[in-house]
């Protein structure tokens, strides 16, 4: 019998595998159709001029620069892993990239896309329209609007992740210090969690066992843990300055937390329930968003205020790459290809 968090999954959602939430995203578990695709980093520029820099993971050299639109925020794989989307917020579109070639193929119109997610059954896209405080359920191919969720308590809907059964997702409201619990099927808010100012919740990630969510609170320098059954904080761990991105190791044993203003990455041991390592960037830096290489040996992060991309050796914690990019504000970097059966969005929420 499945553990409780995985029971009663939404219709059409792939069955969970033994071994936890990320059992299909272990080291090297790339889908056969993706294995021939080039191993690249897609680095969007969140300044207004708009471009996405494409970098080889192997050579650390820039392959090309794509004109993807103004105010590029994140690069997101589609649910079926066939297309990469760049959320060009000020251009009111999603730029489409063919991951087999690393080149643009067109755009899809949608209002002020800041972040992009897909329901676990792949039947709807969810566009985070931060500008207008809207969570927009859309057609996953045309991005035509279908339903809109908004809440007066949520200013700046931003990051999200889904429960293990896909029944709900948690959304961070960056500018109001709030978390929302939203029903995937009913398209309505079913819970509020007020964090209190100066909270500024950022990344949200479901733990490998499906029993809790982790949230990076950038405003109060905290890593929060929230129970899957009861929507409340169970633990609050002090962090370095301005925690932002959350990533799990391929063996599901540790969590990597990027601390944007500390120039560091902290390693949180899930079994011990505490931070056990700190990886500092020599001379400082601004590690922001990114992800792990397919084999899990390198953690790639954008340098938000330094115009670079960082690469950390996950076995030693040492900085092994610092790649200058022609971008004023590199943001939601995507590492591609990624292990996993399907994408829930953002910069590679793979399951």
Please check whether residue 309 is in contact with residue 330, taking contact to mean a CB–CB distance below 8 angstroms. Answer: yes
Please list, in sequence order, all residues whose beta carbon lies within 8 angstroms of the beta carbon of residue 117, skipping any fewer than 6 positions away. 76, 125, 126, 128, 160, 162, 169, 344, 345, 346, 349
- Boundaries of every domain in the chain: 4-336
Show pLDDT as tens, one digit a residue, over the chain (351 residues).
789 999 999 999 999 999 999 999 999 999 999 999 999 999 999 886 789 999 999 999 999 999 999 999 999 999 999 999 999 999 999 999 999 999 999 999 999 999 999 999 999 999 999 999 999 999 999 999 999 999 999 999 999 999 999 999 999 999 999 999 999 999 999 999 999 889 999 999 999 999 999 999 999 999 999 999 999 999 999 999 999 999 999 999 999 999 999 999 999 999 999 999 999 999 999 999 999 999 999 999 999 999 999 999 999 999 999 999 997 899 999 999 999 999 999 999 999
Helix (H) or strand (E) holding 193: strand 189-194
pLDDT at 336: 98
Answer yes or no: pTM beyond 0.85: yes
**CATH no. of 4-336:** 2.130.10.10
- The DSSP annotation for 19-76 comes to T-TTGGGSTT---GGGTTS--EEEEEB-STT--EEEEETTT--EEEEE---SSEEEEE
pLDDT at 48: 66
Rounded to 5 degrees, what are φ and ψ at 247? Answer: -140, 140
């Amino acid at each position: 019998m499945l553990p409780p968090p995985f029971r009663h999954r939404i219709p059409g959602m792939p069955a969970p595998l033994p071994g936890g939430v990320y059992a299909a995203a272990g080291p090297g578990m790339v889908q056969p159709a993706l294995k021939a695709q080039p191993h690249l980093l897609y680095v969007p520029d969140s300044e207004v001029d708009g471009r996405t820099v494409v970098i080889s993971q192997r050579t650390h050299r820039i392959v090309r620069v794509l004109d993807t639109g103004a105010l590029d925020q994140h690069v997101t794989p589609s649910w079926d892993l066939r297309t990469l989307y760049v959320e060009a917020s000020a251009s009111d579109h999603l730029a489409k990239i063919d991951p087999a070639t690393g080149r643009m193929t067109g755009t899809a119109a949608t209002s002020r896309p800041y972040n992009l997610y897909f329901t676990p059954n792949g039947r709807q896209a969810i566009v985070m329209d931060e500008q207008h405080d809207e969570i927009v359920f859309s057609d996953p191919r045309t991005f035509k609007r279908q339903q809109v969720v908004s809440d007066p308590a949520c200013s700046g809907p931003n990051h999200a992740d889904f429960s293990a059964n896909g029944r709900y997702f948690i959304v961070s409201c960056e500018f109001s210090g709030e978390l929302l619990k939203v029903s995937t099927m009913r398209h309505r808010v079913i819970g509020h969690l007020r964090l209190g100012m100066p909270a500024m919740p950022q990344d949200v990630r479901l733990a490998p066992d499906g029993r809790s969510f982790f949230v990076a609170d950038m405003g109060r320098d905290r890593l929060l843990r929230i129970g899957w059954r009861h929507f409340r904080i169970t633990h609050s761990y002090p962090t370095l300055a301005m925690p932002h991105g959350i990533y799990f190791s391929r063996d599901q044993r540790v969590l990597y937390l990027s601390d944007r203003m500390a120039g560091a990455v902290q390693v949180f041991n899930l079994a011990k329930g505490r931070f056990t390592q700190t990886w500092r960037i020599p001379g400082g830096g601004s590690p922001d968003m990114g992800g792990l290489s397919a084999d899990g040996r390198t953690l790639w992060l954008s340098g938000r205020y330094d115009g670079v991309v960082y690469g950390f050796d996950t076995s030693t914690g040492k900085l092994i790459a610092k790649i200058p990019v022609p971008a004023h504000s590199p943001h939601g970097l995507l590492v591609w290809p990624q292990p996993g059966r399907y994408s829930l969005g953002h910069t590679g929420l793979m399951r």
